[in-house]
Structure formats: C-alpha cells, structure tokens
Structure 1
Amino acid sequence: MKRFASQIPKEGLVLDLACGGGRHAKYLAMLGYPILAVDQDVTIVEQLKNPLITSKACNLELEEWPLAGLECEGIVVTNYLYRPHLDLLPKMLSKGGVLIYETFAHGNAQFGKPANPNFLLNSGELLALAARHDLKVLAYEDIYTDEPKPAMVQRLCALKAG
C-alpha cells in the first residue's frame, strides 16, 4: 500500500475499508489525507485520536451496502474480500480516484489461513475487476511473499479515468 499511496489525489476523502487497527489510515493521515476508516469494530482506530481520521463502525457484509452514496478519491483495502460488494468499490471512486487493493490469493492454503476459497482471490480476479470498470491498471502483482509471513497475494493499484 505504501508504494502506491502517492498515486491518490491529495484532495478529497480516502476510504480505508475493513481498516482493522487502522495502520493504513494512520499512514495515510500522516501524508495529509482525510480518511474514513470503516470496520465492524473501530475501537482501536478511535484511540488514534487523529483529526484527519473519521471512523465508522458498520457491518460491510449486509445485503444492503452501508456506504451507498459515498464518493472517494482513494479506496484502500487490504486482507479483506467480500465478493458480493466488490464491484461497488470502483463505482465509489471519483474521476481520477485510485483503488489500492491487496489480499490473499488462491494457493494461500498451503501457508495456513485464510484457506477458505471464499476469502482467496482467483487468478487475475483483481485485473478482471479493473477491466469491468474501465480502470487503468497502474500496478498488479499475483505473487508469493514472505513478509510479514509466507502468503500468496494479489495487489492492484488502479485509476478511474477522468
């Protein structure tokens, strides 16, 4: 994520989706971006007490998308996959906005969790997402990594034309 953060336009909101403890929100706020950090539990994020970070607790896996109508200059998603709402993310980007997505990929089961195919990207799945929404792919990887632990991951940085 850090490699691609500079691609996000400086003005406007950045969504840290499924933010967990807020490490990406904290990093992006340090760069001066206003952040909306969303997760089911945002207790740790609220403890950051950073004026650039707004937190929102909500269930991201409800049938009705809880972030409907939100427009962002950037969306960051790491270590999270919920396919029923995946195609909503590019629609939330403003023109010139950037999607940064990184999560576990097919083949990760050999290294432990997650091993459930529902939580693993299929080969080329993020590229297909970008193609469906006419996003310009700035960077893509489908690789083995050993940091912070051995895993198969896909990474995408893509731009919404405009």
Structure 2
Amino acid sequence: MLQNHINEERIREILNYRLLNGPKNIKKHLYSLFGGEHQVYFVKTQHLLGVFLLSQKEYERIEIYSQQNFIPFPALYTTIKSRPAIFRLENTRNAYIKSNHLKNSIGLSIGEDCTIILENHHQSITTKELGLVEYNINLGFIISYGKEIDDYNAYEYLDELIAYTIKVWRENEFK
C-alpha cells in the first residue's frame, strides 16, 4: 500500500548520516558536484521515490515549475514500457548513470524494483508549453516500487544506494 507522503525527516537523516556529515573526502566530492550550497528535492509517485540534490539555480527553476504545475524534470523518465528511452531499466540494482548529456529524448524507462544513481546528468528538451528546457541533476537517487521494493522498505534501499555511491567514489578516488 502506497503512503501518501514522503518521510522527509527519514530521508534527511540518511543523507546527513551517509553524505553530509561523512568523511572529508566525501564532502569534498559533494562540493565539487555543486560548487557550493545545494538543495534537496523529493519526488514521489505511485511508481517511485526520487531524491535529488541540486544546485540552488536548479532548485529555483523547479520551484517556479511547481508553481505553474509543470513537472520538475521534463523527459527525465517514463514508467510506460512502450515509450522509447535512452536507458531501459527493470529489476536493476545500483545502476550508476554519470555525466550524460541528453537532448530531445526520454532519459530513463524505469520498470519495477530499480535503484538508480544519477550524477552530473544534463538534459535538454523542447516542449510546447515551456519551449527549450535545460537542466542538470547534480546527484539523484531513484527507487522504483515493485514486488521487492515497496513504500515501506524504499528508505532502506535509499540508504543502501547512497552507501554504494560512496563506495564507487572511494574506489575512483585513487585512479
């Protein structure tokens, strides 16, 4: 059964524990992603939970879009299998999608039971309503619901996904 709200407090606890209050090398990498302050934005639908760490500029863009009832990340993802997309994911854990530049296409086709990391994801699309929209997701975590992942254990999967992200950063730190 889907809860109607996001447990923002729990998400912030996970982010603080894993990322924001973590070791200096993790904080340094976060700073390099944002170049300064960041904001956290949450998305929750019947299909997924998304947690996005964004630059102040991106956060302000989303706030304006929200006030106008537009979706925050046009063409970032679809959950409709028949729609074409650059990446198609289903029953996938720890998909790490980094430094992509997508133009006028749907980025992700997200099926059930996926955990996805987006880092430095750039996307642009032209829409009838908004014209050219360009955005950057500095760091994002998407967890889709299915037979294994549900509304109640999604936060545990988020914690594991962030831990995996840190593991990848540490492994790449010495290369």
Relative to its length, the structure with more helix (as a share) is 2
TM-score (norm 2): 0.28
Structure exhibiting the larger radius of gyration computed from Cα positions = 2
TM-score (norm 1): 0.29
